[in-house]
Amino acid sequence: MNVNVIPNNMEKYISFSLGKNLVFIDSIQFMASSLEALVSNLSPEDFRIVGKRWKGEDFNLVTQKGVFPYEFLDDISKLNTEGLPSKDKFYSSLYESEVKEEDYQRAQKVWDHFKMKTMRDYHDLYLETDVLLLADVFENFRRTCLESYELDPAHYVSAPSLSWDAFLKKSGEEIELVSDMDMFQFFEKDDLLKLTASPCFQSHRIMNENLIVVKRMKEVLTLNKPCYVGMSILDLSKTLMYDFHYNTIKKEYGNCSRLLFTDTDSLMYELKTDDVYEDFKRIGEEQDCWDNSDYPKDSPYYSTHNKKVIGKFKDEAEGVPIIEFVGLRSKMYSYVKENGGGGMTAKGVK
């Protein structure tokens, strides 16, 4: 069976088809928003498909985007787990965010209302509502386009192709079609050679015999900011960071400190000491160098004394010990905290 694709770039495809009868179209090509945002814009009467499946209180509970503990479900046997997992199991390390309390309470209400027994029941309902909600969103979009333009988005692959036809239909303008080969070549002649010869040319990739992707730099750079200010700030930052490293950390811990990574305004250390928080409390009293406003308010080290003061250092782990660190290269690292949380940075990686 032949697989045909419509590429958007080297890694992303707008659509693909299997043979002549099965075509896959992504709804995000028409509505570039999250399902949660799209669903919130619909009125109750717009949920025609969902309304056929659920009524009454069932309907009210399923017409909102649900939440799911993706990272908890790392083994198929967990589908047999009885009871809804605790709130911390809904944490997303990808987005570094926890589930909102109201969303978790609604998930608990859904579990109780539908008399669920295992995660398999919750999993199946979550998938079913996701599919039907998206179907209602797209059907509402289709109705709007049919009423306004008498065009069906299901016959298009993206919003640009739909809007192009809507423009032609509503304006009534006749756009001249270039069908003469000489005229076409006049427009297209030497385009690739011109692009590759340009000083802005970076690279190219051949997609097929009719398509070559060219990557270019910006042709115009507007210099409307005092760039020397940034240079001076960077120098001041370096002075502050080196002073802290040598005159605070190395002076206090010596060979018991190990620098794991450094960035423009951050440092990560492995420190060998009996109680680093008591050490930092004493250092703070001597040097006034900490901003502990991000610590829990019930922490003995919490203080708003230097809150948002430039040049003061914060504990990115918010008072929770870091038990594991992995650094692969510049601006690519992750760490795990004692309470199960953590953080990661992967600049340039999606």
pLDDT tens digits, one per residue of 26-51: 888 888 888 888 998 899 999 999 99
pLDDT of 113 > 90? The answer is yes
Write the DSSP symbol of residue 265. S
The per-residue pLDDT for range 196-249, each reduced to its tens digit, is 777 888 888 888 877 788 888 887 878 887 777 777 888 888 999 999 999 999
Indicate the pTM of the whole model: 0.50
- Rounded to whole angstroms, how far apart are CA atoms 313 and 225? 28
- Rounded to whole angstroms, how far apart are CA atoms 236 and 255? 27
Q: Which of 68, 42, 72 is nearest to 124 (CA)?
A: 68
Q: Which of 110, 102, 151 is nearest to 129 (CA)?
A: 110
- Rounded to whole angstroms, how far apart are CA atoms 122 and 116? 7
Average pLDDT over residues 316-324: 92
Task: For residue 286, name the pLDDT band (cuts at 50, 70, 90).
Answer: very high
**What rounded mean pLDDT belongs to the chain?**
88
User: Which of 52-61, 118-127, 221-230, 313-322 has the weakest average pLDDT?
Assistant: 221-230
pLDDT of 316 > 70? The answer is yes
pLDDT of 189 > 70? The answer is no
The alpha carbon of residue 129 and the mean position of all alpha carbons in its chain are separated, in whole angstroms, by 23
Task: For residue 166, name the pLDDT band (cuts at 50, 70, 90).
Answer: very high
Q: Which of 317, 319, 320, 318 is nearest to 334 (CA)?
A: 317
- Rounded to whole angstroms, how far apart are CA atoms 275 and 209? 66
Q: In angstroms, what is the C-alpha Rg of the chain?
A: 29
pLDDT of 345 > 80? The answer is yes
- Rounded to whole angstroms, how far apart are CA atoms 159 and 27? 10
User: Which of 93-102, 176-185, 256-265 has the weakest average pLDDT?
Assistant: 176-185
Average pLDDT over residues 69-93: 92
318: alpha, beta or left? (left if phi > 0; alpha if psi -120 to 50): left
Whole-number pLDDT of residue 149: 92
Average pLDDT over residues 283-309: 92
Task: For residue 268, name the pLDDT band (cuts at 50, 70, 90).
Answer: very high
SS3 258: strand
pLDDT of 185 > 70? The answer is no
7: alpha, beta or left? (left if phi > 0; alpha if psi -120 to 50): beta
Structure-block tokens of residue 44: 């109750």
Q: For the chain, how many residues are written?
A: 350
Q: Which of 219, 222, 213 is nearest to 199 (CA)?
A: 219
Neighbouring residues of 180: CB distance < 8 A, sequence distance ≥ 6: none
> Tokens 């010869």, residue?
197
- Rounded to whole angstroms, how far apart are CA atoms 195 and 212? 11
Q: Choose between 55 and 188: higher pLDDT.
A: 55
Structure-block tokens of residue 331: 């601006």
Task: For residue 12, name the pLDDT band (cuts at 50, 70, 90).
Answer: confident
> Tokens 């199946």, residue?
124
Q: Tell me the backbone φ, ψ of residue 81, rounded to 5 degrees.
A: -60, 130
Longest Cα pair distance anywhere in the chain, in angstroms?
82
Cα torsion 55, 60, 61, 63: sign? positive
Task: For residue 119, name the pLDDT band (cuts at 50, 70, 90).
Answer: very high
How far the first Cα of the chain sits from its last, in Å, is 32
The helix (H) or strand (E) run that includes residue 268 is strand 267-271
Cα torsion 277, 281, 287, 290: sign? positive
Whole-number pLDDT of residue 322: 93
pLDDT of 110 > 70? The answer is yes
- Give how far Cα 350 sits from Cα of 92, 123, 344, 345, Å: 16, 27, 12, 10
